[in-house]
């Protein structure tokens, strides 16, 4: 769409923060004004709109405002359906990526070295010890561990759930997603850990362009999630 504003700024009201475009509140797709819980987050959203399209009359793309789109999802979709969101995210624990090891000895060794510390972290910090298997046949996880992972997800704010909602599918790992949102691992390192098999395959076959594009898109999602929780309590 065409940029119709000159200036984006923030305004505070009753401890919440609005983003104003030439003095008019930025509204969500549903029509309500965007209302944010932290000043740094509001300033970051305003900065997206100040840069989008370059100047008044310029062409703005949805890709110019990724943070706005994520917080809009949090406000319009996650907040009204919190329990369903928690359940959907927590369900990734049933097929936790870090629990499935390759049959190839060298790759399995890579995975053990890189992933075992994070399973130990989940057991220690989240009270969620998980079972490891070889190959792709499903392994049933202990009910107590799955319940603990559900509690860990449920303990996050609406914005934290929004961050998990993009990081966990991008990584294919609930454990790594929780670690990113809690500041235990960087987005870059989490993406590296989640992509061990791709890195292993590339040693033999070279880089596949389609795989690289998917990995870059996933990395962007994880980076966005980490950025969000750096701006507002998760």
pLDDT tens-place string over residues 174-203: 999 999 999 999 999 999 999 999 888 877
The CA distance from 203 to 190, in Å, is 20
- Shared domain for 16 and 127, answered yes or no, is no
pLDDT digits (tens, 9 = 90+) for 150-170: 999 999 999 999 999 999 999
pLDDT, residue 3, reads 92
- Shared domain for 109 and 16, answered yes or no, is no
Domain containing residue 179: 81-231
- Shared domain for 185 and 98, answered yes or no, is yes
pLDDT band at 59 (very low <50, low <70, confident <90, very high): very high
- Shared domain for 136 and 217, answered yes or no, is yes
- Shared domain for 86 and 172, answered yes or no, is yes
- Shared domain for 103 and 198, answered yes or no, is yes
Integer Rg of the chain from CA: 20
Among residues 64, 95, 112, which one ends one of the domains?
64
Full-prediction pTM beyond 0.85? yes
- Shared domain for 56 and 86, answered yes or no, is no
Domain of 119, CATH number, reads 1.10.3580.10
């Amino acid at each position: 769409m065409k940029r119709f504003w000159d200036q984006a700024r923030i305004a505070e009201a009753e401890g919440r923060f609005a983003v104003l475009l030439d003095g008019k509140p930025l509204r969500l797709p549903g029509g309500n004004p965007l209302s944010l819980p932290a000043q740094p987050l509001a300033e970051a959203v305003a900065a997206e709109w100040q840069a989008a399209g370059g100047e008044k009359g310029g062409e703005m793309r949805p890709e110019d405002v990724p943070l706005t789109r994520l917080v809009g999802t949090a406000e319009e979709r996650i907040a009204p359906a919190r329990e369903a969101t928690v359940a959907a995210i927590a369900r990734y624990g049933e097929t936790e990526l870090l629990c499935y090891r390759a049959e190839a000895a060298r790759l399995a060794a890579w995975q053990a070295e890189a992933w075992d510390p994070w399973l130990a972290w989940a057991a220690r910090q989240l009270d969620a010890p998980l079972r490891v298997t070889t190959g792709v046949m499903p392994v049933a996880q202990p009910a107590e561990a799955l319940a603990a992972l559900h509690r860990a997800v449920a303990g996050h704010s609406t914005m934290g759930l929004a961050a998990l909602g993009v990081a966990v599918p991008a990584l294919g790992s609930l454990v790594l997603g929780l670690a990113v949102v809690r500041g235990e691992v960087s987005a870059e390192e989490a993406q590296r850990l989640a992509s061990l098999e791709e890195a292993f395959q590339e040693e033999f076959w070279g880089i596949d362009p389609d795989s690289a594009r998917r990995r870059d898109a996933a990395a962007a999602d994880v980076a966005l999630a980490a950025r969000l929780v750096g701006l507002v309590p998760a």
